[in-house]
Structure 1
C-alpha cells in the first residue's frame, strides 16, 4: 500500500499505548484518550482483526466478513481506506504503512494491541477458578469480582453484522457466564447464602439451560435453611430442560436432589482448619479414564482462528463434524482442539479409517478406551453415561451411517459427552454442526508459507529462503490451494528440487507430491489422498467430477448443466459437495469451485474422449455467454453482465486458450467480451487476447467476404489500444478496421465498425469522414430500431461537430445521445456523451455550473454501471473543471485519487486522451501553487472511493 508513504520523515515520537475494550460496546483508548474509530464497518474491521490475536487476516477473509458473499466492486479499495483511517486513529505518530499497531503482513493485516479488556478478564477469570479449586474462596471472590468488573454489556455489543465477531462474542459471553457461576460458588463457600440465592434466582431466569446454575441455586436455598425452595428449584430445572431440550438433567443434579432429601451432611461446608493444621492431601489415584490423545510430533502452524472458533462450537454444540478435502488438515485440527480441552474424563481419539461396518465402529471405540463390551451401541453408551468427555471420531467417511447411529445413541443418553468427528462428508446426524476446514492463509506472511518454510527447514538443513524465494513459496502455496498435506509433501522435496523447480513441475504435481508418512498410506502421496475420496464415488459421480473439472475459477448450476447431460445432476452435485470434492462459494444463484489439486487429478483420470466432449461443451457455453454479453453490456442489464463476467472471466480465458487455432470461435469470444475488458480497465489482458485479431493483417485481402467475428474483434482491439494510450497501435488497428469493415456481409458488424471508425475519425480531425460513417449508422439504427446504435451514432456526430468547432450543433447531438442512451439503459454511451458534452462546455469557458453538472452525472452513471475506466475519466475531467472554477484543493485531491486508482488498474486517462485530458492535467499542475498541489495530490492518493464520491457530491452542491 502507498498510504502514508508521502508523510515527512521526522523523528518518530515514542509509541502511545493502545487499549481495546470489547466487553460491551467496542471502545478504544489511545493513551488516556477515548478515540472514535467510526461507523459500523470500521468497528467490525477492528473487531475482526482483534479476534485474530495478532495473527494476519487476509484481504479476502476481511472482505467476506465485512460484506458477505456479494461485496461491492470497490471492496478492496474501500478496505484499504478503512485500514488507513484506523491507522490514523490508533497510531497517529506513525501513520500509513509504518504503523506499529495495524501492520501489513503478506496479503492481509494484523493488529498488535498493548492490552485488551477480554485478555485481562480471561486471565483473572482463570486465576479466580484456580483459587476456587484450591479452596481459597476469599481470593477467588476478589479475583472474579475484578474479572467481572470489566464487563459493561454483551461482548462486541455494537458489532452485530459480522459472523466471525458473533462467534467470538458468543465465546466471551459464555466465559462470562462461567465466571458468574464460579463467583456464586465462592459466595456459597464464604457463607453468603441469602444474597447468592437471590442472584442465582435471577440468573437462572435469564439463562435457564445452565444446569450448574440450578444446582448452585438449590444449594444456596438449602444452606440458607430453605430445603423446600431448594427442591422446587431442582423441579423447575428438570421441567425447563425437558421442555426446551427434551433431555433429562445431568446425573449430578439428581444426586444433589437425593442429598437434599437425605439432609446429607456433605452439603454443609466443614469449618476450615488453619493452613498449618491441614494434613497433606493424599496422592490422587490414577484415573483409567484419562485420555489417549497422542503427543504432537511437529508443531502446528497457524490455525489460531479455527481453534478459537472450534472451542466455542464444541461448547455450544454437542456434535461437531470437521469436513474438507483429503489433506486439508482435519485430523490435525481435531487433535489440537482436543488437547486444549479440560474434560474430567477425556478427551479420547478413535481412529476409524479401517472400519467398514457398525461392529467395526463400536469395536474401535471400545478398544481405544480400554473397555470390554458386547451388544453394540447401547452397552457402550452406558459406559459414557456418567462421564464428562470429548470423543474424537477420526475418518468417518466410509462408515457414515454406523457412526451416525452410534452418535445418536450416545448424545441422547449421555448428557456430558461431546463428540468431534472428522470426515470428508457430514454424518447427517441430528444436532450436527458441520464445520468446513478452510485452507491455510496465503501470502508471504500467511500460514501456508510458514508451514512450507518450517517443514522444508526440517527436511533440508540450512533452508533459509530470501525475499525472492519467499515470493516463489507464496506462489507455490497458492498453486497448492493452501492445502497442508500438499504443502508438506512439496516441502519434503526441497532436498531434491529448488522452490523454482517445484513451481516449474507443478503441472505434474502427483509425481512431485509424494514422500509422506510411511505409517499413513492415505497421506503418503497427494494422489493417494485424492484416490481415497475419488474411489468412494459412484460411476455417475465420478463422471460428473471429471466433467466439472473443465471449469476454471468456478461455475454455477447453469454452467454445470451446459457441460453435462446427466439426469442426476442435482443429486450427484450435492454428493460431490457433501464429500468435499466441490466447494460451495456462496451467492444467489450458488457458485461452486474445485480445488486446483482436485482439478488436476480429474484431468489425470479423465479419458481423452470425455475431455474432448466436455471441452467442446464448455467452449460452446462460453461462446453463448460472449454473444449475450456483447449486447447485454449495451443495455439496462449491463451491471448484471459486468458482475457475471467478473465471476466467469477465468472460464473465458480457458476457452480462449483452448480454441487458439480456431479463428472463428476465438474471435467470437474475444469480440463478445471486449466491452467488459474496456469498462473494467483490464487493458493488458484485453490486448493479450485481442491482438490475435491482427495476426493476418499483412496478408492481402482478396475478394472473399470476411466473417463478422473477425471484424468485431478488430473493432475491439482498436478501442482497447485507444484505452491504453497506444497511439501507434491505435493507428495500425484503425487502418486495418477501415480495410475490413466493407468486406463483411454482416450488416451489424459493419455498422459497429463504422461507429468506431467515426469516433476516431472525429478525434483525429477527419470530420467529414466521421459524419459520413456516423450518418450511415444512424440511418440503419432508425430503420432497424437498435437503440444502442442510435445512441452511439448521435454521440459520434456530436464528437465530429465538437472537433469541427460547431459547439452548438455538437451540444444538440450530444444532448439527444444522452437522452436515447439513458432511456435504454446504455450507461457507457450516456456517460461518454456527457463527457464530450462537458468538454464542449469547457471549450467555451462554461465552467461554474454546466460542465460540472454533466460530469457529476457522468460519475453517477459510471458508478451505477461498474464502468471503472469512464469513471476515472469523469473524475479527471471534473478535477479540471473545478480547477477552472477556482476550487484548487478539490481539483488536486481528485487528481491524486485518479493517479492512484489508475496506477492500481494499469490505466492512464491522460494517455488515452492526449488532446484534451493531457492538456487539462498540464494546465492544472502548472497553475496551482506547488505546495498546495502536492499536499492535495497526497491527500487524494489516500482517499477511499466513498470519500472521492463525497467530494463529487460536495462539488455538486457548491
Structure 2
C-alpha cells in the first residue's frame, strides 16, 4: 500500500503591484510584508526585474552610508520573512520567488503590474502608429487601469526608487497622451479637450499635451481656444524653462491660423484611421551607429541618465578609461525620440574650438562658415541631442562650444563623455559606476561566448567569475579584454594571472587605439598629468582599499596635495567614495599602473610612511576601542582595515612592528567576531614573543600576547589560550613598564579566576587595582574590579562578587569603557543565575549589557548577552523567548563563525545544553523560524519584553 504523498503543494501565484503603494497578492490574498524596511527591500528587488542585486547594494539602499554593524544579518532576516510570506510552501533557500543569486538576491514574482503596464502601453502605441485607434484606446485603457497612485508611493524616499518611480511616471504620462491621441482619431474631441485641459494644468511642461489640446479644441470647432492653448504653452515654457516651444508646436500654430486641411477632423470610423497616427521617427535623422554587440546590464544607468536629460540640458558622463561611458551614451541616445534626432560628434582628433565646431558640423551634415556662432544660429530652431564623445582631449574648447550652443539653442541638449568634467554652467556630472550585481559576470559570459562559441559556466565557475570581475574593478573594458583570452586560458588561469593585468588585458578592437589594451587606456590618462600630479598618483597607490585626506598627507608627506588630488579626481584616476571626512580610493587597475611606473626608492619610502601611519593608528585604536568612542573606532577600522592588513603583511619579518600593530587592533577583531583572521594574524605573536625578553619591546609583546589570549578565549581554543597565558605570565614578571604589567596582571586574573585559581587571580587583580588607583587609570581599575568580582563568583562568595562587580560597572560606565561594563554585568547576571535569581535581577543586568554592546558595536558580547538571557527566560518557563533568542544567536553567530558556548565552556556551555535538552523539537523549530525573521530592532524589543 503506498505511503502518504510527500510532494510539495502546487505553488501559489505571486502578483507584485508597485504602481501605487507597494502591494503583494499571494493567490487572491492581499498580504503584508511588514514595515517600511521590508517594503523598501521588496521595492529595490522589484526594480531589478529578476536580475540579482548584491548584498552590499541592498544594504546601501536600506541604510545608506551608516548601516548597522549587523546589516548583513538583518538583511538575511528580512529576506527570510519575505520568503515565508511570498512562498510559504517552499521556505528558506528553496523559495522560487526570492532566490539567492551570486552574492545577492533576485525577486521573480509570477507577474508585476509595472511590467504588464509597460507591455500594454507599448502595444497601444504600436497600434496607434499602425492606425488602429480603436484597438489602441482599449489597450491603453487597460494599461492605465493598473495605476493606483504614484509609483512606489510608500517607499520612494531613496534615490534608486525615486529614479525608477519617475521613469514609470513618465511612461504613464506618455500613455495618457497616446490615449488622448487615440480619442482624437476616434472623433471624441470634446471629451479629449476637457481631459487635456486638466492634464496640461497639472503637467505644464508636456509640449505634446499642449499640441493635443490645441488640436482637440480646433477639431471641436473652437480655433480661438486652440490658439489660446498654444499661447499659454509658450508663456509657460518661457517662464518655467526660459525656452521657446519646440518647432512642431510653432508649426501647429501656423496651421491653425491658415486653417490647414491637415487639421480637419476625420469622420469617426471603426476602421483603422491612419491620418492622425503619430509620424514614426525618420530612421535616417541621426548618425548614431548600430550596436555591434548587445548591451549587457546598465539598465539602471540608462534610466538614470535618461531622467537626468529630462531635467538638465547638459549631462557629462565621467569615469576612468574603459568604464563604458561611450557605450552608455550611445544607448541613451538610441532610445530617445527627439524631433531632429540624436547626433554623435567624435572629438578624438579635435585640438581647438574651431575644430570642435567643424567636427560638430561634419557630424550633422551641415555646411556653415563662421564657426560656433554660425553653427548655433543654424541649430536654434532644432530639437535634438548632441553626444560629444571623448571631450577629455579638448576640455576647454568643448566647454566653450557647448556653452555657446546651450545659451542660443533652447531645444538642444548635450550628453558628453569625458574622463574629467567640462565645468560648464548648468553641467550635471554623472560618474559612470563599475558594473556590479551580476551584470559584470553576464558581460564576461556574453563576450566569452562570442570568442569560443558557447560558454555556460557552472556554479563554481560563476563564483570564480564574480571574483575575477571584482579584481578587474567591474570595468567593462577590462572584463571584455579578459573574456577575449578565454580562447587561451580558463577562468581559474585568468584569476592566477590577474596580478599581471597589463600583460593579460589586451586584444581589444583595432579601431580604437586607446582601448586595444588596458595599458593603453590607463597610459593615455597618465600622460595628461603634470609632474606633481604623476608623483601623487604613484604615491596614493600605496593605500589598500581607501584613504582620507589626513592619511594621504601623512603617508605622501605633502601637506599641500589638495590641488593635485582634486585634479586626479577630476580625471577619474582617483574615486571619491563619500563619507565625512571624504574618503578616496583607486581602482586596482590604476594602482597596478602606478606601481609599474613608480621607482623602487619612492616605493620603499612610501611603505615606511604607510607602516608608521598604521602603527600610530593601532596605538590610538588600542585606547579608543576601550573608551567612549569605541563605536567610532570600529567604523574607522572597518574602513582602514585593508591598510592594516597590508601593513601586517609588510612587517611580518619585523616582529616588534608587527606585534605593535596586531596588539593594537586586537579589540577590533574581538568585538567584530573576526576570530579566524585574528588567530591567523596573532600566531606570529605567540611564536616571537617567547624569545629573549627585551625591556624596550616587552610592552608591545604584552599587548599582543594579551590580545592573543582573549581571541583564543573567544574561539574556545583552550590550548592556544594556555600557551598565551604562559607567555603572559613570563612577561608580567619581567616587564618594566608599570602600565603594561598592570594590563598583563588583569588579563591573567580574569582567566585564573575562570579556571579556579582563585588566590592567584585575587593577587594579580589586587596588584592591578592598586596601580590603577595610584596612577589614576580608571580603565585599569575597572578591569581589576571585574576580575576580583569574577574570583569571588567562582569562589561562591556572591555578596563580595556583587560588591566588586557593581563597583566595576560604576567605574567603567563613568568613563565610557563599554566592554568592561558589559562584561561585569554579564558576570553579575551569572552570579544571580547561580543563586536562582531569575525572573528579575539577572534579566535586568543582561538587558543593560545588551544595550551597552549595541551602543559600542560589540557583536560578540551582544551574542553572549542574548545567549545568557535565553537561558534566564528558559529557567523562568518562557520557552518561546528562550527558543527565539537561541535561534538569533545560532544564526548570527554562524555567520561570523562564533559560538558563545564554545567561548565559555563552564557556564554558557552548560546553559546551552540544559536549554536545548529542555525544549521540545517543535519549540526549537518554531523558535528558529521566528528568530530568522527578526531584525536588529525587533531583537531589541524582544530583549526588553524578556525583562520581567
| 3-state secondary structure, aligned to 1:421 | strand
Distance 1:807 1:756, change over 3 A: same
Distance 1:494 1:883, change over 3 A: same
More deviation in 720-729 or 146-155?
146-155
Q: Does 1:548 align with 2:530?
A: no
Distance 1:9 1:419, change over 3 A: farther
Q: Report if the CA contact (8 A) 1:897-1:942 is conserved.
A: no
Distance in 1 between the 2:933 and 2:249 partners?
Answer: 61
Q: State which of 440, 444, 453 in structure 1 corresponds to 2:435.
A: 440
Distance 1:122 1:500, change over 3 A: closer
Q: State which of 239, 246, 253 in structure 2 corresponds to 1:243.
A: 239
| 3-state secondary structure, aligned to 1:742 | helix
Match of 1:310 in 2: 305
Q: 1:127-206 counterparts in 2 under 5 A?
A: 127-206=123-202
Q: State which of 914, 926, 944 in structure 1 corresponds to 2:935.
A: 944
Match of 1:891 in 2: 882
Q: State which of 714, 734, 748 in structure 1 corresponds to 2:705.
A: 714
Q: State which of 332, 344, 352 in structure 2 corresponds to 1:349.
A: 344
* RMSD after superposition: 2.5
Q: Report if the CA contact (8 A) 1:247-1:412 is conserved.
A: no
Match of 2:615 in 1: 623
Distance 1:235 1:462, change over 3 A: closer
Q: Does 1:640 align with 2:632?
A: yes
Distance in 1 between the 2:280 and 2:104 partners?
Answer: 50
Q: Report if the CA contact (8 A) 1:705-1:743 is conserved.
A: no
| 3-state secondary structure, aligned to 2:734 | coil
Distance in 1 between the 2:47 and 2:269 partners?
Answer: 45
Q: Report if the CA contact (8 A) 1:706-1:745 is conserved.
A: no
Match of 2:328 in 1: 333
Q: CA deviation at 1:177?
A: 1.7
More deviation in 91-100 or 787-796?
91-100
Match of 1:98 in 2: 94
Match of 1:904 in 2: 895
Q: Report if the CA contact (8 A) 2:132-2:271 is conserved.
A: no
Match of 1:483 in 2: 475
Q: State which of 475, 492, 511 in structure 2 corresponds to 1:519.
A: 511
Distance 1:491 1:228, change over 3 A: closer
| 3-state secondary structure, aligned to 2:150 | coil
Distance in 2 between the 1:520 and 1:453 partners?
Answer: 23
Q: Report if the CA contact (8 A) 1:323-1:423 is conserved.
A: yes
Structure 2 gap segments, 5+ residues each:
none
Q: Does 1:696 align with 2:692?
A: no
Distance in 2 between the 1:470 and 1:224 partners?
Answer: 63
Distance in 1 between the 2:313 and 2:380 partners?
Answer: 14
Q: CA deviation at 1:698?
A: 5.1
Distance 1:94 1:516, change over 3 A: same
Q: State which of 577, 581, 584 in structure 1 corresponds to 2:576.
A: 584
Q: CA deviation at 1:164?
A: 0.7
TM-score, normalised with respect to structure 2: 0.95
Q: CA deviation at 1:340?
A: 2.7
TM-score, normalised with respect to structure 1: 0.94
Distance in 2 between the 1:465 and 1:23 partners?
Answer: 37
Q: CA deviation at 1:638?
A: 0.9
Q: Does 1:919 align with 2:910?
A: yes
Distance 1:195 1:451, change over 3 A: closer
Match of 1:776 in 2: 767
Q: Report if the CA contact (8 A) 1:481-1:597 is conserved.
A: yes
Q: Report if the CA contact (8 A) 1:899-1:941 is conserved.
A: no
Q: 1:562-577 counterparts in 2 under 5 A?
A: 562-566=554-558, 568-577=560-569
Match of 1:4 in 2: none
Q: Does 1:12 align with 2:4?
A: no
Q: 1:371-770 counterparts in 2 under 5 A?
A: 371-441=366-436, 446-461=438-453, 464-566=456-558, 568-697=560-689, 699-701=691-693, 706-770=697-761
Distance 1:231 1:65, change over 3 A: same
Q: State which of 909, 923, 927 in structure 2 corresponds to 1:932.
A: 923
Q: Report if the CA contact (8 A) 1:78-1:946 is conserved.
A: no
Q: Does 1:851 align with 2:814?
A: no
Q: CA deviation at 1:771?
A: 1.1
Deviations 1:900-951 (A, max 9, x none): 2211111121111111111111222223334433443454355433333232
Deviations 1:231-264 (A, max 9, x none): 3333332222222211222223333333333444
| 3-state secondary structure, aligned to 2:109 | coil
Q: Report if the CA contact (8 A) 1:762-1:803 is conserved.
A: yes
Distance 1:898 1:285, change over 3 A: closer
Q: Report if the CA contact (8 A) 1:794-1:814 is conserved.
A: yes
Q: State which of 799, 811, 818 in structure 1 corresponds to 2:809.
A: 818
Q: Report if the CA contact (8 A) 2:187-2:268 is conserved.
A: no
Distance 1:705 1:288, change over 3 A: closer
Q: CA deviation at 1:125?
A: 2.3
Distance in 2 between the 1:857 and 1:679 partners?
Answer: 17
Q: State which of 99, 114, 120 in structure 2 corresponds to 1:118.
A: 114
Q: CA deviation at 1:653?
A: 0.9
Distance in 2 between the 1:285 and 1:796 partners?
Answer: 83
Deviations 1:882-904 (A, max 9, x none): 11111122212222221222111
Distance 1:681 1:314, change over 3 A: same
Q: CA deviation at 1:615?
A: 1.9
Q: Report if the CA contact (8 A) 1:347-1:391 is conserved.
A: yes
Q: Report if the CA contact (8 A) 1:476-1:503 is conserved.
A: yes
Match of 1:26 in 2: 22
Match of 1:267 in 2: 263
Deviations 1:617-643 (A, max 9, x none): 222221221111111111111111111
Distance in 1 between the 2:867 and 2:101 partners?
Answer: 33
Match of 1:954 in 2: 945
Q: CA deviation at 1:692?
A: 1.5
